A and B are shown apart, each in its own frame.
Chain A
Amino acid sequence: MAKKRNLILTVILLAGLFGLAWYINFETDSYLRRIVNLCMVYAIIGLSMNLTNGFTGQFSLGQAGFMAIGAYAVGIFTVPVSLRPSVFYAAPMHPAIADIHMPLWLALIVGGLCAALVAFLIGAPVLRLRGDYLAVATLGFSEIIRIVITNAQTITNGALGIKDIPPLNDVRYIFAFTAAVFIFITALINTSYGRAFKAIREDEIAAEAMGIDLFKHKSLAFMLSAFFAGIGGGLYAALLGTVDPKNFLFTLTYNFLLIIVLGGMGSITGSMIGSILVTAGLEFLRIFDEPLELFGVAIPLFRPGFRMVIFSVLLMALVLFWRRGIMGTREFTWDKTIAFCKNPFGIFGRKGVDKA
């Protein structure tokens, strides 16, 4: 009964959000559209990062590299063939790929698969590592990917980047992808795989003793994470219309780290909330970069660069004082929401009950 009700509520919510996406797509200005799109793309990548870092407990910092693979797949395959000579003006495109053209959705999937393949290949040496070592090794791989892209002139156009990617600014399109990724990951977490991921996070040795194949599950989580990061990266490229290697410096990964830390490591709905807060928050923080006058007095603190200082202070403060983030490892559920609506004060009485 409750299950059926929850399913119906979820469908209604998704339909409502899709309606909202429709509305935003046609009734608002392109500035708002861009912010909303960016939010959703960040949500996809935040979710993908949460899969390894949050659910499986493998601290990976390779997201920027996987995004780059997806972004370049879109860049390479969706630019119309007739425009390619002018894009690859310094060195012509490699003949093997020069005539391959794909629609965006196919290029996104190809990009995701390429990213997953790379994740599979690097997973073998890297996933045996733990904690800090894993973090640095994955960060290293994301840098290697960027350096290879920079040097592979005839495939990626090197530092010159790729432009003339057919622009995508359709909120509905990106919403559909975000919803699909969200639904997939939610479903995955509730399967035996999801439970195995969490077991590995809680205690690797105990999980192994329970008969969970550590490497297989870590590798699976890593590949899926890379796949979704690749799709997110591809959408990011289509959204901007251009890509170049400098977009994918490893500092880009920090944005997603903030998203999952803020939302809660190991919470899907937390990542969604985190991505909205971080994207909108980074826009909001821009006021700190502009000179501010209060009562006719210029406040000297406000000048370019202040925004990023605040951003990093926030990241640190979050870890120091609010380590579990907004959601911790909990999820937003209909049962709890309805219980809350019936008795808004009850929640204070039973803290800790709804731990996942």
Chain B
Amino acid sequence: MKKFFSVLLASALAVGMLSGCGGEKKDAAKSDVIKVGVFLPLTGDNAAGGELELRGIKLANKMHPEVLGKKVELVVADNKSDKAEAASVAARLIEKDKVKVIIGTYGSSLAMAAGNIVKENKVPAIGTSCTNPQVTANNDYYFRACFIDPFQGTVMANYAFKNGAKKVAIIQEVSNDYAVGLAKFFKEAFVKLTGSPDSIIEVANYQTGDKDFSAILTNIKAKNPDVIFAPGNFTESALLIKQARQLGLTVPFLGGDTWETQEFIDVGGKDVEGASLSTAFDREKASTAEAKKFLDAYVKEYKGEPSALTALAYDAYLIAIDGIKRAGTATDSVKIRDAIAQTKDLEAVTGKTTLDKNGDAIKAAVIKTVKDGKFKYTDFVDVK
């Protein structure tokens, strides 16, 4: 019996040592690449957005494959548009894949679910298009390449005011965090600009999935607004605008960057002509050298027009690489975090990028309007 145990023990030790050696060897072999975690919804409800962003990150990796003389390797993980999954995937990237910086994600609630994980493990994450202010609030380890909901609301308020609107009605998708955020800051900014709280004549609510908006629209029509601000999902928004036109409500509609999809135009048809939205990127406004490179590469790789999401994801990768470069290390995640926090005037696709004290990118917004079934650049708003 004793003999049996000693053999067992010895073999266990041997196996342990072998595997230990194997592990070390592997690490040694891998140390000449820098692993960057990519954390996106590639399946589930948000898959379409995640796919567009993955394009941007892959493209950026192709254009900037090296930092500190080492090759950058992307470790792509799918958070499946699911909050519980997002938390486990982020943990897996950090613990199993040992990444020192993470890029992603589309969808603020997914980013928030991962927020605690990156904070606990002290690994910096750079959000691509998660616009909810809570993503970076109270979290020194979450940054983002996009602007935030309050900014977008403020931009649209300025745009409406600039174009002579005096009375605005707001129709918000009350079950959507994004829409509620935009509406709230639109209201504040617009009241400030006009100096009169009566300038917002109505705030109406609907739920995600609603189809019939005739009652709220009839109410609003009776109050004669100059313009309607209606942030929300593109499906509901397109139906909303259709019904407004059908009820003889002809005033312009303003919304947010979620509208910038082909489906918005497909469902809305000629009724959404003239609807305006704010977004982060337009090729006509692309001023930086990096943007030119990005556009050329995009056309070569995927054809067609790149979406703002792709551009933002590209920028998130640039911020990460720039951080590693300035930190001078690819292994100390805290140093990388500190370097990323100092990002200033980085040449990126969506303009020169600076991160503020919350870790949010400060940048200008582009206004686009639907014209002849296409999103056309109309204005440029920079709010300080």
So, do A and B actually touch in the complex, CB under 8 Å?
A: yes
Chain A contacts to B: CB under 8 angstroms: 29-31, 34-35, 38, 83, 86-87, 89-91, 147, 150-151, 153, 158-161, 163-164, 167, 239-242, 244-247, 286, 289-290, 304-305
Report if B92 contacts A (CB, 8 A).
yes
Quick check: A304 and B132 within 8 Å, CB to CB? no
B52 smallest CB distance to A (angstroms): 15
Quick check: A246 and B95 within 8 Å, CB to CB? no
Report if B113 contacts A (CB, 8 A).
yes
Q: Kindly state the separation between the CA atoms of A290 and B113 in the bound complex, as whole angstroms.
A: 22
Query: Which residues of chain A are within 8 angstroms of B112 by Cβ–Cβ distance?
Result: 161, 163, 241-242
A29 touches which of B87, B91, B120 (Cβ 8 Å) = B91
Residue pairs across A and B with Cβ atoms less than 8 A apart, 23 shown, are: A29-B95, A30-B91, A31-B88, A31-B96, A34-B87, A35-B88, A86-B133, A87-B134, A89-B134, A90-B184, A158-B180, A159-B180, A160-B132, A160-B134, A160-B180, A160-B181, A167-B116, A241-B87, A241-B113, A242-B112, A244-B109, A245-B175, A304-B44
Query: Which residues of chain B are within 8 angstroms of A35 by Cβ–Cβ distance?
Result: 88
B83 touches which of A87, A240, A245 (Cβ 8 Å) = A240
Q: Kindly state the separation between the CA atoms of A249 and B113 in the bound complex, as whole angstroms.
A: 18
Quick check: B83 and A247 within 8 Å, CB to CB? yes
Quick check: A242 and B88 within 8 Å, CB to CB? no
Quick check: A89 and B133 within 8 Å, CB to CB? yes
Scan residues 73-106 of chain B and give those whose CB is less than 8 A from a CB of chain A.
78, 80, 83-84, 87-88, 91-92, 95-96
Chain A, Cβ-Cβ closest to B44:
A304
Query: Which residues of chain B are within 8 angstroms of A89 by Cβ–Cβ distance?
Result: 133-134, 137
> Which of A30, A167, A289 has the largest count of B CB atoms less than 10 A from its CB?
A30
Q: Kindly state the separation between the CA atoms of A241 and B181 in the bound complex, as whole angstroms.
A: 21
Q: Kindly state the separation between the CA atoms of A164 and B120 in the bound complex, as whole angstroms.
A: 12
Q: Kindly state the separation between the CA atoms of A352 and B173 in the bound complex, as whole angstroms.
A: 55
Report if B249 contacts A (CB, 8 A).
no
Quick check: B80 and A86 within 8 Å, CB to CB? no
4 further contact pairs, Cβ within 8 A, besides A30-B88, A38-B84, A239-B84: A34-B91, A90-B181, A147-B207, A164-B134
Report if B138 contacts A (CB, 8 A).
yes
Query: Which residues of chain B are within 8 angstroms of A244 by Cβ–Cβ distance?
Result: 109, 177
Report if B205 contacts A (CB, 8 A).
yes
Quick check: A150 and B88 within 8 Å, CB to CB? no
A151 touches which of B92, B133, B179, B205 (Cβ 8 Å) = B205
Chain B, Cβ-Cβ closest to A89:
B133
Chain B, Cβ-Cβ closest to A88:
B134
Report if B176 contacts A (CB, 8 A).
yes
A90 touches which of B42, B116, B180 (Cβ 8 Å) = B180
Query: Which residues of chain A are within 8 angstroms of B307 by Cβ–Cβ distance?
Result: none
Quick check: B96 and A29 within 8 Å, CB to CB? yes
Q: Kindly state the separation between the CA atoms of A247 and B179 in the bound complex, as whole angstroms.
A: 17
Report if B115 contacts A (CB, 8 A).
yes
B133 smallest CB distance to A (angstroms): 6
Query: Which residues of chain B are within 8 angstroms of A286 by Cβ–Cβ distance?
Result: 80
Query: Which residues of chain A are within 8 angstroms of B381 by Cβ–Cβ distance?
Result: none
Chain B, Cβ-Cβ closest to A85:
B137
Query: Which residues of chain A are within 8 angstroms of B84 by Cβ–Cβ distance?
Result: 34, 38, 239-240
Provide the main secondary structure of the chain A interface.
helix
B109-145 CB mask vs A (1 if < 8 Å, else 0) is: 1001101110010000000000011100110000000
Quick check: A150 and B207 within 8 Å, CB to CB? yes
Contact residue range for chain B?
A: 35 or more
Chain B contacts to A: CB under 8 angstroms: 42-44, 47, 78, 80, 83-84, 87-88, 91-92, 95-96, 109, 112-113, 115-117, 120, 132-134, 137-138, 173-177, 179-181, 184, 205, 207-208
Chain A, Cβ-Cβ closest to B139:
A164
Chain B, Cβ-Cβ closest to A158:
B180
Q: Kindly state the separation between the CA atoms of A286 and B109 in the bound complex, as whole angstroms.
A: 21
A86 touches which of B87, B134, B173, B181 (Cβ 8 Å) = B134
Query: Which residues of chain A are within 8 angstroms of B179 by Cβ–Cβ distance?
Result: 159
Quick check: A159 and B175 within 8 Å, CB to CB? yes
Query: Which residues of chain A are within 8 angstroms of B43 by Cβ–Cβ distance?
Result: 289-290, 304-305
The 5 closest A-B pairs by CB, nearest first: A304-B43, A30-B91, A86-B137, A160-B177, A34-B88
A19 smallest CB distance to B (angstroms): 21
Quick check: B181 and A31 within 8 Å, CB to CB? no
Chain A, Cβ-Cβ closest to B110:
A242
Quick check: A150 and B134 within 8 Å, CB to CB? no
Q: Kindly state the separation between the CA atoms of A164 and B115 in the bound complex, as whole angstroms.
A: 9
Query: Which residues of chain B are within 8 angstroms of A161 by Cβ–Cβ distance?
Result: 109, 112, 134, 177
A354 smallest CB distance to B (angstroms): 37
Query: Which residues of chain A are within 8 angstroms of B91 by Cβ–Cβ distance?
Result: 29-31, 34
B174 touches which of A150, A241, A305 (Cβ 8 Å) = A150
B216 smallest CB distance to A (angstroms): 15
Q: Kindly state the separation between the CA atoms of A161 and B176 in the bound complex, as whole angstroms.
A: 10
Q: Kindly state the separation between the CA atoms of A147 and B210 in the bound complex, as whole angstroms.
A: 13
Quick check: B113 and A240 within 8 Å, CB to CB? yes
Q: Kindly state the separation between the CA atoms of A150 and B209 in the bound complex, as whole angstroms.
A: 14
Query: Which residues of chain B are within 8 angstroms of A167 by Cβ–Cβ distance?
Result: 116, 120
Q: Kindly state the separation between the CA atoms of A289 and B81 in the bound complex, as whole angstroms.
A: 12
Query: Which residues of chain A are within 8 angstroms of B113 by Cβ–Cβ distance?
Result: 240-242
Q: Kindly state the separation between the CA atoms of A30 and B114 in the bound complex, as whole angstroms.
A: 13
Chain B, Cβ-Cβ closest to A286:
B80
Query: Which residues of chain B are within 8 angstroms of A241 by Cβ–Cβ distance?
Result: 87, 112-113, 115-116
Q: Kindly state the separation between the CA atoms of A91 and B150 in the bound complex, as whole angstroms.
A: 13
Q: Kindly state the separation between the CA atoms of A239 and B113 in the bound complex, as whole angstroms.
A: 10
B260 smallest CB distance to A (angstroms): 21
B210 smallest CB distance to A (angstroms): 11
Quick check: B80 and A242 within 8 Å, CB to CB? no
Quick check: A163 and B134 within 8 Å, CB to CB? yes
Query: Which residues of chain B are within 8 angstroms of A86 by Cβ–Cβ distance?
Result: 133-134, 137-138
Q: Kindly state the separation between the CA atoms of A90 and B186 in the bound complex, as whole angstroms.
A: 11
A221 smallest CB distance to B (angstroms): 29
> Which of A35, A91, A163, A289 has the largest count of B CB atoms less than 10 A from its CB?
A163
> Which of B78, B134, B177, B179 has the largest count of A CB atoms less than 10 A from its CB?
B134
Query: Which residues of chain B are within 8 angstroms of A87 by Cβ–Cβ distance?
Result: 134, 137
Query: Which residues of chain A are within 8 angstroms of B133 by Cβ–Cβ distance?
Result: 86, 89
Q: Kindly state the separation between the CA atoms of A158 and B180 in the bound complex, as whole angstroms.
A: 9
Query: Which residues of chain B are within 8 angstroms of A150 by Cβ–Cβ distance?
Result: 174-175, 207
